[in-house]
Structure 1
């Protein structure tokens, strides 16, 4: 069913939405005064809320959102008159309606809405929920914390739980005297209560949406605040982890100052608390001034963490701080505009991390994340970045790689097209014009057009409101290049495939080529099906998508591909070589090229020295290895071993104190490839020694990237004794990164009985924030993926009841790794009978990609040994 959505501005006419999930528009909140009392022992909370609101016209009732709450003692006050209110609930649509008991109609103007409420501190990682940890004394302690995005504030207090209903929030918490309480505003008073508790009152927030509110209480401690341009910044964490806060503080202080400078607008809050929560369904959440994180994305020991783990921490901190402006200060008016904040925050996280550590080559790294978006966007079940959102389930379905990574990729493409300075000026114009207000996508395009003078909307609408992306076919002609575009697709769902759809985009293209002995560059906006580009002479080699930032693939004609690939190491930047490898592998998956073409390309690149190109080479070879028949697997294992050990010989097996961070990470990638799929015995012996040293002497005794790779190789070659040891190391890990590292390594053991023990461990012991993702990864195991599928299938009801709702579709993502027709048919039938309402489209994408994998195996699996 299609609903007409109405999203009037705050000063527009009163309108009524016919979408049953949206509130009437005749009442608008102005201010919330909230008192909340959590009882951690009983896992309950009580509270009271008073909402100052404005009526646009006469009404006989007030409707607001509530879910999973017991509400009572409701009153409505206008002027000096206060009346009780009858409460009625609409559980399906998560709404509560209040009607004056005396039957009097409420008149236009101010109204005060108040009630008491009570609820459960749930274990579903949404709303107001409980998180637990074990302290140094071995005691289990509970934290009460919140996660409100998208529509879960209504599970903590009655409210107008839609993003365009912005208001000011005043929060008071009544908590045990020995616990710490935190909210969005700074603490302004703390007084003992008669019953021995403490009453903490927090400063008012800025005007903001309900999903940005937060309150947390528990056995927590905070670092001393760092002053960042007058804004106090600190990290809050469970007791005993203060030694893990230094890197996060350094990254956050840099990011906050850098973002203030980029946006040209002061930080809109009064303080920044970064809060590490032991149980958290998402990566982090941009609550205004009280940002919550998974521990692994905030707390770390740099002496024990890999480069990738540290980069991820900087990324996530920068992403959430970027939201303080793009999302919090200026907010989408409805959930269809989630991309407005998430894509831009992803773009800003990469830009900020690139400024923090230029040597990490963060925009090159982003090619890997963009590849995940390419993978989904090549399916017939893809979706536009922005689409109509009706229900809360629709909103939940938007938190995926298309919103984040594709959105960021097209923003980056636009920035490169406009130029960084003009783009940043447009962003500042947008934020200044719409501060404290709600917006739509067109508001962003208008601001960028006004600042740049370019037809931004005409270029970008096709990328935002349509799914898919183009592949540019490139051929040589006498004076240049012929470039044509069509939609790139893997094929349809099921077993038959589908032809690529004819479609065109406005494609910003940068071409660099060698023409008659000279390097020539051309820029164009490809708006039609094809163009003949005059390069001024005969093209010897060409790089289309020069700079590597376009959101499209490139397919060179045979001879041009051969000439360009032979000189790739000399004439292409690493990010461009990454694109060449990635595009070639995608052509193999789509059936446009044989696997032998990819194998030949990566063999030609054997002298490669760039981390990110090597990551794509290794992942591509592993992908082919997974679908090959036994003789092909052996051939590919030898190729992986030979390529990786040769590159290791050039790089050096031993870390050097003066080498770049990315060389250290590359060593880990090559070491794992050689000892894992490559099964190199010398590497496996060395891995055993490194693993023993790190386990006995502490992880810091071995260079972290090499130590992490050694854990994986030791697991791949390990026995039951090794397995028991890794379980113990997981349970006794001293950093969040080490805990996750050992859990992931348990998936690499070859023995079926050990693999089945791992599945049970994930389902029963591992935190629910991690278990669904680990079970998903289990389904990609080279030999036992089908066993993992059977485990998930047989325990589906129990798992979906235990795990957070937002993780169920992600757990199902493991089926993408399955590649036999009989199993794929079974999986498809299962999901036909087991809906995932909050991720129906995502599951459909998983199933389609599974069938793509089946077709790849049927097409190439038996040929791979011969192809190499």
Structure 2
């Protein structure tokens, strides 16, 4: 686990406490940094790296040379850069002009600080130099730095190498200024086994067989970019290509899997064309590859390396024997996300990890927008509500943080990759685009791209360009939603409808799950309201209150279209009208209202049974995504009854009565010309009804499993039901299938299924199996996490008891988050203390946010079980069945 500097941790804690209690930013407030944060001295700056790497995949070592062109800006006795797990065999500094003698420095490596310092016998004068280094390093087995993945094939077991440098792991392969603001160009050379393919950011310019079983591959110089975007992979690969607007688009897979990447290849070309048009700046590299890797990470699924996106196979390949419509949509969405980064993140990069959301929030929003535009048949626009809910679940507790957050250490940077950064960032963009208009927003983005290409930025650089393009006061609203944490809540009351208009009174509060009575922060909140069938009306709630006249006399929806990032709490009379007219609402507003009511009910701000009223008011033929969301929420509510069989049975009778008629309409087997959202709903309902113990679904799943009737679209869902209800004999049958399987995608899935059983004894067997070498180095952590879904206490206790073994099976960027998240679904009040004890013992003080989030979630769940379920029980007693 990475260590952190005491001073940095103290500063981070101070800043975090201040941010949590901060008042809203004043108008035109500057960003809370006078300069970019750094962990390295600023007196030496790199401009170009010539790097040669010779990996030895067999013994997991690497040998490297790096000649770094650099500029000394102030006289200094030494040069400090980032390096981790490296041994230097030589170092020489020469003036860039070739004049003057070469200097040989003393070398001091500090693995705790992740630095190497080269000290000279006299201070270096300002000027240009070349630092030549020879070194050796390590190849890992988890996705950090240069790492190895072992995978099974029909021809035997093979090993491939890949890099993963975000956020701070380029230093494991290249001694470097491993911070985003230190942009430079790179020329990479790799010496690899002859017959294997090497892939990097740029095309290869020369390939030379060295005659000793190795081949040297040199790649073209890269554009100016941050270290974390550099990429190298080596293995028994195949590559397919297509062309789009002068760019060679490629996919790279293990040999024999290329056909499964065809959809990703075609989609990438479509997305590139769309982004060239949207951004107004052409993609600047000659090629764009997407490289597939077997295995998995607990930290990420794909990475936006410039010109060479890395994606795990489970998120890039479509195997017809196991892939579903949901998989297809995910492949497209992830590719769209990573390609968006080629502009937002790669061409223009945040100055420091404080503004990570500029990369991730924008790519999340751009992928959502582009998926809906290029594949309207999927009707994915409703997914924006679910994305927003993911952020709000984290943003409603005391341990939340602003979108623009203060980061001081490597561990804190790793923890910045969360739902606030991704989903809240995306939701804020969606809200602001709705406020200024799509054309003005795009024009602002285009101006931002042109002005800051190949450079680094902070959030205000974007806001200024948007505001200039829109001619509207964007900066104040943007600051409210990005520089302070939390969720606005609008309390809504309506007067009588007069003259064909309904007058709304809006009062701004704050939604929180764990701080009742908290003094609310203040936001300027853009609001869109409309009555059923009426025209939308827009306003901005300022100073905490607003009045709004809305055309029409039907029930009024505040946050119509669900572009706003806030909760809406209707007065009882208004909610009654919404409930009665629920079937007439647009689908996205049905979904938004249901999610608000669920969250508000679980937080005690309205009756929790109001959600069940909406379920019963939902037409059977409602949008498939509405019923998919209901199925997920009913499963979540069912989990609160864990350990109380009688009450759970009563709730399940209700849940099955709602879902079974919808499933009867959908059926087990696809119909000709069936809409894609119906295909997704089918698998959602099979898994939900299976989890709820519906006898008919469980029996049919067992029949199909026994008969071998498992088409790709149903295979995962049927096996999920089988595994959940498995006895020892069935579990062993699945285990035997996993051991015999030679296709990595299918094999990985089977090991996760072994971990999803509701039988505690079999769950323990899965945990024990995860500690062996059998599942594969990157599957073990996923198995334990899967067990935690149904057995959080068992999984957490097991993981902590075997922490030293499990640490080797989790990528280091994930460890401080991995263990606390195992406990998230616990209903045991004592678990909060266990998570706290774990954090005290093993996590640096400034890096305990994941532990704090888990503790908050456990306390919330315990409170829901105690305080909210009685109201649900009472409603169920009066339910007519």
- TM-score scaled by structure 2? 0.91
**Alpha carbons of structure 1 residues 608 and 778: separation in structure 2 relative to 1, 3 Å:** farther
* Aligned counterpart, 1:185: 202
Q: Helix, strand or coil for the counterpart of 2:626? A: helix
Q: Give the Cα–Cα distance (whole angstroms) in 1 for the partners of residues 36 and 477 of structure 2.
A: 33
* Aligned counterpart, 2:600: 587
Q: Give the Cα–Cα distance (whole angstroms) in 2 for the partners of residues 451 and 768 of structure 1.
A: 50
Q: Helix, strand or coil for the counterpart of 2:104? A: strand
Q: 2:59 aligns with which of 35, 42, 66?
A: 42
Q: Give the Cα–Cα distance (whole angstroms) in 2 for the partners of residues 24 and 825 of structure 1.
A: 40
Quick one: higher RCO (CA 8 Å, sep 6+), 1 or 2?
2
Contact 2:141 2:777 in 1 (8 A): no
Q: Helix, strand or coil for the counterpart of 2:555? A: strand
Q: 1:778 aligns with which of 763, 781, 787?
A: 787
1:171-570 matches, cutoff 5 A: 171-223=188-240, 225-281=241-297, 282-302=300-320, 304-478=322-496, 479-492=502-515, 498-513=516-531, 519-535=534-550, 539-570=553-584
Q: Give the Cα–Cα distance (whole angstroms) in 2 for the partners of residues 722 and 280 of structure 1.
A: 26
Q: Helix, strand or coil for the counterpart of 2:105? A: strand
* Aligned counterpart, 1:8: none
Contact 2:726 2:759 in 1 (8 A): no
Deviations 1:50-102 (A, max 9, x none): 011122233332221111101132111113222222212233322222233xx
Q: Give the Cα–Cα distance (whole angstroms) in 2 for the partners of residues 39 and 476 of structure 1.
A: 71
Q: Helix, strand or coil for the counterpart of 1:673? A: helix
**Alpha carbons of structure 1 residues 573 and 763: separation in structure 2 relative to 1, 3 Å:** farther
Runs of 5+ in structure 1 lacking a partner?
Answer: 6-14, 493-497
1:690, CA displacement in angstroms?
Answer: 2.8
Matched, 1:850 2:858: yes
Higher deviation after alignment, 835-844 or 128-137: 835-844
* Aligned counterpart, 1:658: 673
Q: Give the Cα–Cα distance (whole angstroms) in 2 for the partners of residues 552 and 770 of structure 1.
A: 38
* Aligned counterpart, 1:752: 760
* Aligned counterpart, 2:25: none
Q: Give the Cα–Cα distance (whole angstroms) in 1 for the partners of residues 424 and 804 of structure 2.
A: 33
* Aligned counterpart, 2:181: 164
* Aligned counterpart, 2:616: 603
Q: Helix, strand or coil for the counterpart of 1:96? A: strand
* Aligned counterpart, 1:820: 828
Q: Give the Cα–Cα distance (whole angstroms) in 1 for the partners of residues 588 and 809 of structure 2.
A: 42
* Aligned counterpart, 1:791: 798
What is the aligned length?
Answer: 835
1:606, CA displacement in angstroms?
Answer: 4.9
Deviations 1:531-572 (A, max 9, x none): 1212367x43011110112111111111211111121121x1
**Alpha carbons of structure 1 residues 408 and 67: separation in structure 2 relative to 1, 3 Å:** same
Q: Helix, strand or coil for the counterpart of 1:226? A: strand
Contact 2:142 2:778 in 1 (8 A): no
Q: Helix, strand or coil for the counterpart of 1:245? A: helix
Q: Give the Cα–Cα distance (whole angstroms) in 2 for the partners of residues 503 and 274 of structure 1.
A: 43
Deviations 1:793-843 (A, max 9, x none): 322332124321233313421322111324444444444434267851022
Q: Give the Cα–Cα distance (whole angstroms) in 1 for the partners of residues 626 and 695 of structure 2.
A: 25
Deviations 1:742-774 (A, max 9, x none): 344334433322121122233434345444344
Contact 2:530 2:556 in 1 (8 A): yes
* Aligned counterpart, 2:117: 97
Q: 2:651 aligns with which of 619, 629, 636?
A: 636
Deviations 1:240-289 (A, max 9, x none): 21231211112111111211111111112111121112245321111111
Q: Give the Cα–Cα distance (whole angstroms) in 2 for the partners of residues 104 and 615 of structure 1.
A: 69
- TM-score scaled by structure 1? 0.92
**Alpha carbons of structure 1 residues 147 and 716: separation in structure 2 relative to 1, 3 Å:** closer
**Alpha carbons of structure 1 residues 17 and 757: separation in structure 2 relative to 1, 3 Å:** same
| RMSD, aligned CA | 2.3
* Aligned counterpart, 1:805: 812
Q: 2:664 aligns with which of 633, 649, 653?
A: 649
1:520, CA displacement in angstroms?
Answer: 4.1
**Alpha carbons of structure 1 residues 843 and 154: separation in structure 2 relative to 1, 3 Å:** same
Contact 1:397 1:838 in 2 (8 A): no
* Aligned counterpart, 2:27: none
1:731, CA displacement in angstroms?
Answer: 4.1
Runs of 5+ in structure 2 lacking a partner?
Answer: 1-9, 16-32, 497-501, 877-881
